[in-house]
Amino acid sequence: MAENNENNVSKPEEITKKDVAKSYLRWHFANEIPHSFERYIAPALLYGLMPILRKLYKDDEQLKAAYKRQLLFFNTQLTWGGGIITGLMSSMEQERARQEHDNEEVTMTDDLMYNTKAGLMGALAGIGDAIDSGTIQYIFIAIAVPWAQNGSPLGALIPFILFASYQFAIGLFFARQGFTLGRNATSLMESAGIKTMIDILSILGLFMMGILAGSYIEVESSLQFSLSGREFVIQDILDEIVPGLLPLATVMGVYFYYNKKGLKVTQALLWLTAILIVLAAVGIL
């Protein structure tokens, strides 16, 4: 009897629509607050998912693993990306918790969950920015322009109120749809095509990480010299051979450091800073 009670205590709780709404609400208002270069806005996503993860994982080690899983680099638009991915992650974590509790093969792997996020966050962010910030926002502003021209405070307040309300409503809708989609798609994890799907998401995730690395990392060589009356600029030569070679070398260097020493971010940053300072001092960078 004691064994049954213990098993009941560790059993994941059912995730409801109210839980998903609460999760999105927390993500919505924490979106840009815990901002860091290392994880970007992943802490906001984790903050949103924490109540759900606590209902799912009763074992401390499993809960810690889930926290770490959702703390990897993440960046997307508030409603289209954040809403859908919040719902999807809630559903996928629910299935992961069930599989672990029932001692089944874990098909909701860490790689699958992160590749899903990485594959969707950029595409959904582009759609959300174009529709929300590039279209809907200006429609609300256009509606309020006549009031503003007449000197009414509504001209300033109405666009803000309407856009904030729209974003909250559409984000909540997407979160619920994402949760439903993930729940219905769970049965596909054991299908014959799952390996192909994981490979596609992995490749797309790698493309997204490569784009982010190329956009945010700037490393250039200042080395130049004259030979037989001809001026050689190393950076120009590198750009002709492989554009972005130095940023790529920097990323791969950090990757191999992590692979060998573990995810020691502070140490990696200190070593990287010291190496770049030395190379800049001798005129190579």
Helical residues (DSSP H) of the chain, grouped into ranges? 2-10, 17-30, 42-56, 60-69, 80-101, 110-128, 137-149, 154-185, 194-216, 234-241, 245-261, 265-281
Task: Say whether pLDDT at 248 is over 90.
Answer: no
- Which band of pLDDT confidence, cut at 50, 70 and 90, is reported for residue 5? very low
Q: What residues contact 109, with CB distance under 8 A and at least 6 apart?
A: none
Q: What residues contact 164, with CB distance under 8 A and at least 6 apart?
A: none
Residues 241 and 153 occupy one common structural domain: no
- Which band of pLDDT confidence, cut at 50, 70 and 90, is reported for residue 280? confident
Report d(CA 10, CA 55) in Å as an integer.
Answer: 10
Report d(CA 243, CA 235) in Å as an integer.
Answer: 9
Supply the pLDDT for residue 104.
Answer: 84
For the segment 180-209, the average pLDDT, to the nearest whole number, is 59
Q: Which of 160, 181, 205 is the last residue of a domain?
A: 205
Q: Which residue has the higher pLDDT, 114 or 195?
A: 114
Supply the pLDDT for residue 149.
Answer: 79
Supply the pLDDT for residue 269.
Answer: 79
Task: Say whether pLDDT at 1 is over 50.
Answer: no
Residues 119 and 27 occupy one common structural domain: yes
Task: Say whether pLDDT at 33 is over 80.
Answer: yes
Supply the pLDDT for residue 150.
Answer: 84
Supply the pLDDT for residue 239.
Answer: 74
Report d(CA 113, CA 68) in Å as an integer.
Answer: 12
Residue 91 lies in a domain: yes
Q: What is the pTM of this model?
A: 0.63
Residue type, 133: S
Q: Using CA atoms of 158, 164, 165, 167 in order, give the dihedral in degrees to the nearest 10.
A: 140
Report d(CA 284, CA 223) in Å as an integer.
Answer: 5
Report d(CA 81, CA 28) in Å as an integer.
Answer: 11
Q: Which of 177, 205, 233 is the last residue of a domain?
A: 205
Residue 212 lies in a domain: no
Shortest CA distance to 194 belongs to which of 86, 65, 105?
A: 105
Contact 70, 45 (CB under 8 A): yes
Q: Which of 144, 178, 205 is the last residue of a domain?
A: 205
Residue 214 lies in a domain: no
- Which band of pLDDT confidence, cut at 50, 70 and 90, is reported for residue 63? very high
Domain around 274: 219-281
Task: Say whether pLDDT at 196 is over 80.
Answer: no
HSE, CB side, 13 Å, CA atoms: give it for residue 262: 1
Task: Say whether pLDDT at 209 is over 70.
Answer: no
For the segment 16-45, the average pLDDT, to the nearest whole number, is 89
pLDDT digits (tens, 9 = 90+) for 75-126: 898 998 899 899 999 999 998 998 888 888 888 888 888 888 888 888 888 8
